[in-house]
Structure formats: structure tokens, C-alpha cells
């Protein structure tokens, strides 16, 4: 790589999606020189992070966004979840978790990803200390013992497909550390030589917004069906967002149906708890796999969010976990004289281990438990849901998951700035 350094920074963040943009904001008040590189403009129809999905934010993530000053931009768009009802299709087992029982205003908040993107990037625009390249794409990365060297193409036609940028300029960046916030197919992770273990669930999530003749009133439903989990979450505007997990061929079939037939098929799998489906929005599909990087750090490199681990959406924990990666990494990097020093990065990996391992295991275990149709597993589920419904301790533990699975609680989750 051409070593003629044009830009010197302490921290280069590659990827300004949900996690990378949050990390940049967390570092905004610190003395570190930060550069954020994002391939797609935040309000583009092709933005892969801020698309038509919604994200269920836990109370821990709400606290982080309050501390970063983002929450006031989001609050009006956030559908509060005051109750969660879990059921196993075709079986008696069911459980209910309510916010009031836990002494909480809400168990979580459902936010459209597009609004999340706008809120994060509007807040970033108000931070002159964060240098931004957007649209700009990392093309090449070389990691040496003393610095990370990035070749970045900045311009109007960079795209994310790995093709060559056409009308832009090339910039060489030297950073003390590069942060991979570039998603599950992370180029930074590959360049750092960090392998990722991938397990294909052979399921596809069909995501769609629906309106019904009973407007949503804070109740979220998680229904485990023979094909996979079906989540129906309340939106702030009275509609619902649906994450319907299906085998790939069935997902293709239902997406090819017209709106009316799609509504009927969905209603057959879900039932009538939300009333009659009256309107069906555009559908988007997401193949589901568990991807887990073997390490969260490499030479002059740290991984956050989907670049570190990408989870099944069954428990709505992927982003919440990634935000805690960002919150703790920001705190550790801000306090370090050399933010890319091996001891600093090892500290990050060590302090994230419990939460990361716990949440990956919890999510994956849930998918496997409810995917099995072996009679003993099905009976275990029925009993498990019934016992859960009677066990205040288990409910309390579940409602506290959004603060992490254990280990370190980052300062931002405690309402404190990173330093
Ligand atoms: C159907 C579905 C529902 C979900 N629901 C929830 C939920 O309710 N709650 C929850 O907590 N999580 C949920 N998740 C998980 C959540 O979406 C992810 O955890 C989150 O998107 C991770 O964000 P990220 O910023 O790490 O990665 P991404 O969202 O993948 O963003 C990566 C960014 O990097 C950019 N980029 C990539 N390569 C380059 C490059 N070379 N140069 C520059 N930029 C680059 C991309 O343009 C993109 O903006 C869900 C996931 C799915 C699939």
C-alpha cells in the first residue's frame, strides 16, 4: 500500500451503521482524533443498517442513547413495549411478562431503523470533533505493529458491493487503531486475519409492517411455530412490525403472494390476537445465520457489533449487544495513551467476554429449543413456559437482560459519559 500518509488519526471507525455511528458519538467528547468512514449515505434507500426493519431497544440501550443525547430525537418514534406474551403454537404453554410487574415504564422500545439512522447521524453532524467520510469505502487495510493503514475511496459512487469507486478520490489514513463496525461480512475482520465461525440456521426472516383493526397497545407477541419464531411488535403509530421466521422456500412463497393472500397466510400462522390484518406493507427478507468472530481483537484492530457477532433476531438482542461493545470500547480507548496497544485491546476482549458469551449462548439456545419437534423437547417447552410464568425471579432476570448478561457494565449504561 502507498504509505504517503494524508490523514493521521487515533481511531478510525469503518462502518457508520447502527453500532459504528453510536461508537463515534460515544467518542465525541473525548480527546481522541476520530475518523468515521461509511460507504452509504444514511438516508439512502440502499443503506443496509438503516433499512425498513425496526429494532427493539432494551432499557440499557435507551439509557446509552439518553446519555449520548440521542434519545430526544428518537422518543416520538419509539413504541413502548409494556407487555410480552410468549406462546408455543399448538401447545398449552404460554407466559406473560409485564413492565408494571417489574416496576418499569416499559420492557423495551421498538424503533424504526430509518429513524434510528436519522437520529444518530443528525447527532453526529452536531459533533465537529468527529471527522466523517461519507460516502466513503475502505478498500484496503494493512495492520502493522505501530499503526493501521487504510486506503479509503471517498466520492459519490462508492457502493458496498466491493466494486471499484468511480468518481471519488483516494485517501490514505494512518490510525493507532481501526475499529471494525462494517457488519457481518467485515473487510476489517478479514484483513486482520480473524476467522468467523458461521452456522446457517436455514431460516429466513420475513420482515413486514401490518395494520390491523385493533391498533397496537404496547403488547409484543413472540409465538414459536413449527417453522420458527414469529414476533409481532407494537409500533408507535398503532401498527405492528412482524418478523416471521420461515424455511427459505416457504419465505419465497409467501413473499410472492399478493398483499391479501399474504395477510391470510400470516393470520393462519399467528392467529387473531391482534385483530384482523387490514394492510400489509413491503416485505424484506434476511437469511439467518450465527456468525461469531474467533476473537474480538487483532493487531491494531477491534471488532464491534455484527463484525464481532451476528445473532438470530429471535430475542431482539443483536444491536443491544453491539451497542454495549461500542460503549465499553469507547471507554477503554478514551482512557488509553495508545488506543491500539495490545494490552488495551486485550482488556476490551476480556471485559466483553461474559456478556458476549452469555448472549450468544442464550439466543442460540432459544432458537434450538423451540426449533426441535422431539416430544421430550416440546413437553419441556410447555413446562418451561408454565414454570417461567409462575417464577418472579426468572421474569426479573429476563427483564434485566438489556443491561447485559453479566460482567462489566459500561459507564454509558450507568448514565455516565465515557470519561
Ligand atoms: C430481521 C432482523 C431483525 C432484528 N431485530 C433486532 C432487534 O429487534 N433488536 C436488536 O438488538 N437487534 C436486532 N437485529 C440485529 C441488528 O440489526 C444488528 O445487530 C445491527 O444491524 C448491527 O449493526 P452494525 O452497525 O454492527 O452492522 P450493520 O448494520 O451491518 O452496519 C454495517 C455498516 O458498515 C458499512 N460498511 C460495510 N462495509 C464497509 C466498507 N468497506 N467501508 C465503509 N463502510 C462499510 C455498511 O454500509 C453499514 O452501514 C435484527 C436483525 C435482523 C436481521
Answer yes or no: is pLDDT of 308 > 60. Answer: yes
Name which of 96-105, 164-173, 289-298 the model is least confident about.
Answer: 164-173
> Would the CB of 205 count as within 6 Å of ligand 1?
yes
Domain closes at, from 288, 306, 338: 288
Give the integer Cα–Cα distance in Å for 75 and 62: 9
Give residue 183 CA to ligand 1 midpoint distance, Å: 6
Give the integer Cα–Cα distance in Å for 358 and 246: 26
Give residue 65 CA to ligand 1 midpoint distance, Å: 17
Domain enclosing residue 321, as ranges:
7-56+122-197+294-370
Counting Cα atoms < 13 Å in the Cβ hemisphere of 74 gives: 32
Atom of ligand 1 nearest to the CA of 308: 26
> Would the CB of 242 count as within 6 Å of ligand 1?
no
Angle at 100 between CA 96 and CA 102, to 5 degrees: 80
User: pLDDT tens-digit profile of 187-202?
Assistant: 999 999 999 999 999 9
The whole-number pLDDT of residue 407 equals 84
Alpha helices, H only, 259-317? 259-270
pLDDT band at 406; cut points 50, 70, 90 = confident
Q: Are residues 142 and 84 in the same domain?
A: no
The count of structural domains within the chain is: 2
Q: Are residues 267 and 155 in the same domain?
A: no
Query: What's the mean pLDDT when you consider all of the chain?
Result: 92
User: pLDDT tens-digit profile of 252-282?
Assistant: 999 999 999 999 999 999 999 999 999 999 9
Share of the chain above pLDDT 70, in %: 91
Give the CA-trace dihedral at 249, 250, 256, 258, to 10 degrees.
Answer: 170
Answer yes or no: is pLDDT of 157 > 80. Answer: no
Task: Give the CATH number for residue 78.
Answer: 3.30.9.10
The whole-number pLDDT of residue 161 equals 42
Three cell numbers written together for 356: 458476549
pLDDT band at 399; cut points 50, 70, 90 = confident
In eight-state DSSP terms, residue 165 is P
Answer yes or no: is pLDDT of 163 > 70. Answer: no
Q: Are residues 240 and 151 in the same domain?
A: no
Q: Are residues 264 and 167 in the same domain?
A: no
The whole-number pLDDT of residue 164 equals 43
Average pLDDT in the 152-172 region?
66
Q: Are residues 157 and 277 in the same domain?
A: no
Give residue 140 CA to ligand 1 midpoint distance, Å: 21
Domain closes at, from 234, 258, 288: 288
In eight-state DSSP terms, residue 24 is H
Task: Find all residues with CB under 8 Å of 119, minimum gap 6, and list them.
Answer: 65, 70, 73, 74
Q: Are residues 45 and 11 in the same domain?
A: yes
> Would the CB of 182 count as within 6 Å of ligand 1?
yes
pTM, two decimals, is 0.95
Q: How far is CA 112 from each of CA 74, 220, 285, 300, 366, rounded to the nearest angstrom?
A: 9, 15, 16, 34, 25
Name which of 298-307, 324-333, 369-378 the model is least confident about.
Answer: 369-378
Amino acid at each position: 500500500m502507498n504509505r504517503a500518509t494524508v490523514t493521521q488519526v487515533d481511531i478510525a471507525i469503518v462502518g457508520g451503521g447502527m453500532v459504528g455511528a453510536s461508537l463515534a458519538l460515544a467518542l465525541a467528547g473525548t480527546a481522541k482524533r476520530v475518523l468515521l468512514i461509511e460507504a452509504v449515505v444514511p438516508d439512502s434507500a440502499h443503506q443496509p443498517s438503516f433499512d425498513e426493519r425496526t429494532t427493539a431497544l432494551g432499557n440499557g440501550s435507551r439509557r446509552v442513547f439518553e446519555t449520548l443525547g440521542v434519545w430526544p430525537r428518537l422518543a416520538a418514534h419509539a413504541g413502548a413495549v409494556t407487555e410480552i406474551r410468549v406462546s408455543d403454537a399448538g401447545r398449552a404453554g404460554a407466559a406473560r411478562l409485564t413492565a408494571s410487574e417489574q416496576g418499569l415504564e416499559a420492557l423495551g422500545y421498538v424503533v424504526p431503523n430509518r429513524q434510528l439512522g436519522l437520529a444518530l447521524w443528525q447527532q453526529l453532524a452536531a459533533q465537529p470533533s468527529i471527522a466523517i467520510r461519507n460516502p466513503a469505502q475502505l478498500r484496503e487495510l494493512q495492520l502493522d505493529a505501530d499503526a493501521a493503514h487504510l486506503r479509503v475511496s471517498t466520492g459519490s459512487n462508492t457502493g458496498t458491493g466491493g466494486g471499484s469507486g468511480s468518481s471519488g478520490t483516494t485517501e490514505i489514513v494512518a490510525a493507532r487503531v481501526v475499529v471494525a463496525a462494517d457488519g457481518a461480512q467485515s473487510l476489517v475482520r478479514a484483513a486482520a486475519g480473524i476467522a468467523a465461525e458461521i452456522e446457517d440456521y436455514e431460516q429466513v426472516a420475513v420482515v413486514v409492517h401490518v395494520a390491523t383493526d385493533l391498533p397496537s397497545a404496547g403488547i409484543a407477541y413472540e409465538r414459536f411455530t413449527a417453522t420458527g419464531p414469529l414476533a409481532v411488535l407494537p409500533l408507535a403509530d398503532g401498527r405492528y412490525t412482524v418478523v416471521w421466521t420461515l424455511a427459505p422456500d416457504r419465505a419465497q412463497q409467501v413473499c410472492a403472494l399478493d398483499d391479501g393472500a399474504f395477510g391470510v397466510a400470516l393470520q393462519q400462522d399467528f392467529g387473531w390476537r391482534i385483530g384482523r390484518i387490514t394492510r400489509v406493507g413491503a416485505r424484506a427478507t434476511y437469511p439467518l445465520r450465527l456468525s461469531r468472530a474467533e476473537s474480538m481483537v487483532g493487531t491494531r484492530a477491534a471488532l464491534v457489533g455484527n463484525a464481532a457477532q451476528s445473532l438470530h433476531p429471535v430475542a431482539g438482542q443483536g444491536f443491544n449487544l453491539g451497542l454495549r461493545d461500542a460503549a465499553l470500547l469507547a471507554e477503554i480507548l478514551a482512557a488509553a495513551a495508545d488506543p491500539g496497544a495490545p494490552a488495551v485491546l486485550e482488556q476490551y476482549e476480556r471485559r466483553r467476554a461474559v456478556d458476549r458469551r452469555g448472549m450468544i449462548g442464550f439466543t442460540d439456545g432459544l432458537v434450538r429449543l423451540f426449533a426441535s419437534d422431539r416430544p421430550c423437547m416440546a413437553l419441556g417447552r410447555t413446562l418451561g413456559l408454565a414454570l417461567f410464568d409462575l417464577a418472579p425471579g426468572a421474569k426479573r432476570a429476563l427483564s434485566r437482560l438489556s443491561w447485559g448478561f453479566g460482567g462489566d457494565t459500561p459507564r454509558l449504561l450507568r448514565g455516565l459519559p465515557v470519561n
